[in-house]
Amino acid sequence: STTTALPTEDAIIDLARSGLSACGADLDALLAGGAEASSTITLRSPITGQVLGQMAADTAESAADTIGKAHEAFLAWRDVPAPVRGMVVQRWGQLLTEHKEDLAKLVTLEAGKTPSEAAGEVQEMIDICELAVGQSRQLFGKTLPSERPGHRLMETWHPLGVVGIISAFNFPVAVYSWNTALALICGDSVVWKPSEVSTLSAVGANALLTRAIEEKGGPAGLNGLLVGERAIGEALVDDPRVELLSATGSVRMGREVGPRVAQRFGRSLLELGGNNAAIVTPSADIDLALRGVVFAAAGTAGQRCTTLRRLIVHSDIAGELVDKIVAAYGTLSIGSPTAEGVLVGPLVNQASYEKMQASLEAAQAQGGEVLCGGTRVLADAAADAYYVEPAVVRMPGQTEIVEDETFAPILYVMEYTDFDAAIELNNAVPQGLSSAVFTSDLSEAERFIARSDTGIANVNIGTSGAEIGGAFGGNKETGGGRESGTDSWQAYMRQATNTVNYSGELPLAQGVEFL
């Protein structure tokens, strides 16, 4: 792989300042506020590792106040007709289109994504806005035949309340928008606690939504934003006014959040870890598989929840495919995502780098052989930035470390001879987000779709890069939630079953006689 020089610290500040101001926020005002506040968070960029400054954080009191205002806003918003609510989301989509590059700059700054990937993330926001606007006229309920004469049975869908959103650094704005665009057309208000690592992206995205709400006359308080670390997220988890908590993050986080929300009989929608596999069969188009694998495994520096982490390849073609992958990894340009041609940006922080190293050591202790990558680069250029060469590790089998999700670019390679055993290997991890098969054999493709136990199961494309039109989410330890397309809107509404009697009599169901 090749490396590219890093930008200056001033260039990074300029990126933050210009991206934010175009979205309607002011970096210098945020930093000045941070200098006075009692509770703050530190703003950084993984590109250089530099500290941009301190920003004021929420307290338990201010968080409760924001949730209260969102609840007030909900009481007004639920009475606005759904297609009229859709007009706010439509305006947000227009503003996102206009400011696509500005917001993408902030995503690059904080998540270290390349401009193309960052713009793709904002495009997902625009896409979900369009989907939500259409959905606002399609909050369908079914009408059913009643067993009683002169009766009608129907289901109706009603606004739910305040939706709390906890989002992760790696998709700092898209996943939030999947939740927000649908919640808003469903008549809910939202309170968002973004990852503290990507607060500026959140401020930018939220400023554009505030503008859309103001322009269209929506109630103030409809879009709360909470700034802070874990304790501030807990305010959302425990507040009984938050009817639905949608949380994206680690399995560990979900294991805590799920039961705590359930304890107060709230609803949760969890998008947790993935440990995604691709099976490559002898009939696959090898060059297509190669491109699919390399983008899914090394793209976004391995920091997508849909990143390809396990490659299960038939032993007849393993040698050829693995050689090609290692050769392709050798051509990847690593460095600042702001530099032309760079494909692999930084890891988010030191902890992430250390976890990657620990996983590589564990893999070797468990019989793995590192075929390429794993080495830190550009440490001389920026001691606090963590760039690594994406790694490919040949494993003797699906050992303990392979069952873990390490949020970094490590691709474990295993071989198979029996296709059904390969599907079993695909399924034999605790997580269940995404999977893929590369094959030209129709029956293999169909068998894979029928048996792979993940929420997303692809044929002849990699595990990442899902479109918003399909429901997004996974099974098992991934948490079971579904977001964005198809019927996901139903998670943001309260369903009622209504029996209407127009018979003038009162026949009871099941033929019961009384009075």
Catalytic residues: 271
Nearer to ligand UN1, 20 or 270 (CB): 270
Binding-site string for ligand UN1 from residue 297 to residue 336, where x marks contact by CB under 6 A and - marks none: -------xxx------------------------------
Residues 6+ apart with CB under 8 A from 159: 74, 77, 78, 186, 187, 188, 493, 494
Please identify, among the stretches 315-323, 379-387, 460-468, 492-500, the one whose residues bind ligand UN1 according to the rule CB under 6 A: 460-468
DSSP letters, 142-162, are: -EEE-SSTTEEEEEEEEE--E
The Cα 321–Cα 305 span in angstroms is: 24
| Two tokens, residue 248 | 């994206």
Candidates 4, 66, 281, 464: give the one binding ligand UN1 (CB under 6 A): 464
Nearer to ligand UN1, 343 or 466 (CB): 466
Nearer to ligand UN1, 189 or 268 (CB): 268
CB of 296 to ligand UN1, least distance (A): 8
CB of 121 to ligand UN1, least distance (A): 8
Distances 237 to 170, 175, 232, 438 between C-alpha atoms, Å:
21, 18, 9, 40
Number of Cβ atoms within 10 Å of the Cβ of 316: 11
Place of tokens 């490396």: 3
Query: Is 170 a binder of ligand UN1 (CB under 6 A)?
Result: yes
Nearer to ligand UN1, 214 or 467 (CB): 467
Nearer to ligand UN1, 158 or 252 (CB): 252
Query: Is 195 a binder of ligand UN1 (CB under 6 A)?
Result: no
Please identify, among the stretches 10-18, 63-71, 399-407, 464-472, the one whose residues bind ligand UN1 according to the rule CB under 6 A: 464-472
# binding residues, ligand UN1 (CB under 6 A): 11
What residues between 12 and 41 interact with ligand UN1 by CB under 6 A?
Answer: none
Binding-site string for ligand UN1 from residue 235 to residue 274, where x marks contact by CB under 6 A and - marks none: -------------x--------------------------
Largest CA distance in the chain: 87
Please identify, among the stretches 43-51, 92-100, 167-175, 333-341, the one whose residues bind ligand UN1 according to the rule CB under 6 A: 167-175
4: Cα within 13 Å, side-chain hemisphere: 19
Residue nearest to ligand UN1 (CB): 466
Candidates 68, 83, 115, 465: give the one binding ligand UN1 (CB under 6 A): 465
CB of 274 to ligand UN1, least distance (A): 8
The Cα 101–Cα 360 span in angstroms is: 36
C-alpha radius of gyration, the chain, whole number? 24
The Cα 101–Cα 97 span in angstroms is: 9
CB of 33 to ligand UN1, least distance (A): 30
From the number of C-beta atoms within 10 Å of its C-beta (0-12, 13-18, 19+), residue 450 rates as exposed
What residues between 97 and 126 interact with ligand UN1 by CB under 6 A?
Answer: 124
Binding-site string for ligand UN1 from residue 122 to residue 151, where x marks contact by CB under 6 A and - marks none: --x---------------------------
From the number of C-beta atoms within 10 Å of its C-beta (0-12, 13-18, 19+), residue 514 rates as exposed
Please identify, among the stretches 21-29, 170-178, 215-223, 363-371, the one whose residues bind ligand UN1 according to the rule CB under 6 A: 170-178
Please identify, among the stretches 10-18, 23-31, 141-149, 169-177, the one whose residues bind ligand UN1 according to the rule CB under 6 A: 169-177
What burial letters (b/e) apply to 160-171, b meaning 16+ CB within 10 Å? bbbbbbbbbbbb
Place of tokens 């598989």: 289
- Residue 479 has phi, psi (to 5 degrees) of 110, -15
Is residue 237 within 8 A of residue 245, CB to CB? The reply is yes
CB of 485 to ligand UN1, least distance (A): 11
The Cα 27–Cα 30 span in angstroms is: 5
| Two tokens, residue 372 | 């390429």
Candidates 175, 293, 388, 457: give the one binding ligand UN1 (CB under 6 A): 175
Distances 84 to 87, 136, 441 between C-alpha atoms, Å:
5, 8, 48
Is residue 277 within 8 A of residue 422, CB to CB? The reply is no
Please identify, among the stretches 33-41, 168-176, 183-191, 373-381, the one whose residues bind ligand UN1 according to the rule CB under 6 A: 168-176
Q: Which chain residues interact with ligand UN1 by CB under 6 A?
A: 124, 170-171, 175, 248, 304-306, 464-466
